[in-house]
Structure 1
Amino acid sequence: MGDNSPRTDTSTDVEVDAKLDDGHQQVTGGSITSDHEAGTKNGDSKALRRLAQNREAARKSRLRKKAYVQQLESSRIKLNQLEQELQRARQQGLYLGSGSYSGDQIAHSGGGIGGANASNSGAVAFDLEYARWMEEQQRQMSELRAALQAHAADTELRGLVDGGMAHYEEIFRLKAVAAKADVFHVVSGMWKTPAERCFIWMGGFRPSELLKILLPQIEPLTEQQTMSICTLQQTSHAAEENLSSAMESLQQTLADTLSAGSFGSSSNVANYMTQMAVAMSELAALETFVLEADSLRKQTLQQMHRILTTRQAARGLLAMGDYFARLRALSSLWSARPRG
């Protein structure tokens, strides 16, 4: 009995120590498990946030793609409408001999179909109006040619000549409206065929040059008629030179305004905006030049109408129509030429 007591005490101490160790391990293990669960929750939260962000980015991407597809569809519809307008215009008789009124200028006038603005809309509207104007001119030229070949009376020719003069006044009116919408479109002559644009001057023909072309077609002339036409040609040429000089001065002024200051510097936005505002105000004179040039063309035609007899004026209008028709034919032949 005495021998067993020490062993019993020792065993009891060991058991107590073991229990304490087990309790410590249980507490420590519980702490580790809790930390692990917390870390897992944090990781899951980050993953959910990333998933939500990815879903939002994907949603925005789908919306952008949908908007882009809708814009393309809208552009396609507008382009189809424009092509249909061109097709109807061609079917209504825009072909003059071997040449025709080309629709490429209408395609260019709109800039970008999807981003059409008021300026582009005005240019496209003018091009379509010009197409209808060309159709009517073809009809008038056919009637005038038939009347001259049939040696019609002056009374019949006078009505055709007056109609032809009124028709040219109509195009001047249409150009005045178009210049307010997009003066660059009118000045550059994008509504004409390429060959016509080679001879364009401020949105149309030079009156003095046209008189040189018409003179051989309306002879014989009386001495008084010849003197009057020479005077008209001189005054027209002088007016053209004045307008051309004014245009050159405008171009130089614009160049000086836009080149003021240093390029590529955006440090002073106020100066830049002031510079652009000045250039815009200077550029407004361009519309005036177009209107003055058309006024000169109109006055030249009216003076010729007063100088010539009815039959001579009829031949002059027909010659002018044929000349521009040949320029359009030249454009068509040039476009269709073989390219080796």
Structure 2
Amino acid sequence: MADLLSTIPSPAASRALSRLADVCLRAALRLAMEETGKRYHVGPVASGLAIIGVGKLGGRELTYGSDLDILFLFSEDRAIAPPTGLTVFEYYNKIAEKTISYLTTMTREGFLYRVDTRLRPGGSKGPLAQSLTAFRNYYATQARTWERQALINSRCVAGDRTAGREFSHSLLDMIYQETNETVLAGDIRAMRKRMEEERGKEDSAHYNIKQGAGGLVDIEFLVQFLQLVHGRKDRRVRMPGTYNALCALRKRKLLSPEDYQIMKKAFLFMRQLESRMRMASNQSTNDLTRDPEKLTSLSRRMGYVDDSVPAGQKLLSDYEQMRKEVRSLFDRVLRG
């Protein structure tokens, strides 16, 4: 309600939604441990197993309808003795499967969240729960740039906190490794182009405020690029969350005041716009109509009023100006 009435800023609303997801994940994991333990005559607590939140969840920047991007990992040193007939690996994977089931199963009241675990080593073909050693080996030898980007926004959200801290500490140097800035920029541009072509398609009737040119992903990728470039030497920019990282980069004078203001203003505006669009449609949508007459209700939710210029036209004009500035900045920084 506070978000709907605009009595709290967008980042505060995102933090609240992220805290709610944390609580749900902890409850689902606890229930999964209890049920699986009872089935195999093992205690209700599976020490050594942790859930790592990445992406929007890891950065505490969830919005309405966001998926939960998570990883299941276990510390070999803290793992329990598995039940007879199962390895630790197999037992923890059963708990992971049950946890996801609690979160995603459709009931009469709906479901809690969509869950995405594809950021694990091996992607959708890899085991759900993997050891800390497996993660270390993968990120030391095979991880691609986009996977390093994803782990910038990572934190332990449920389960064994010690195992979660081990994960974070062991992977930091691999995320913020010595890098060729030109190669890094090329990798990020290529991934951004692919996402735009596959998921951010726009036409004469609609913009895509997330994946489209100059949208939220431009800002997120630009911030992550600067973090990967500077984070090895300056630990103070190793900050989960786009908004927090943006502020840290400016504080460390790694962004000019002008560029910072462009990105901050556009990020806050687009995140609020995204949340209002999803509230209005009750769907996880990022498509913004280009017809200002169809934006009257949405524009008023954003605080615009009609005068000599209709509220819908004001919203559309502001968005078009911001996306233009963001894309120009993205191209300038990532093309050197």
Q: Which has the higher strand share?
A: 2
Q: TM-score, normalised by structure 1?
A: 0.26
Choose between structure 1 and 2: higher helix proportion: 1
Q: Please tell me whether Structure 1 or Structure 2 has the larger radius of gyration of its CA atoms.
A: 1
TM-score, normalisation: structure 2 = 0.26
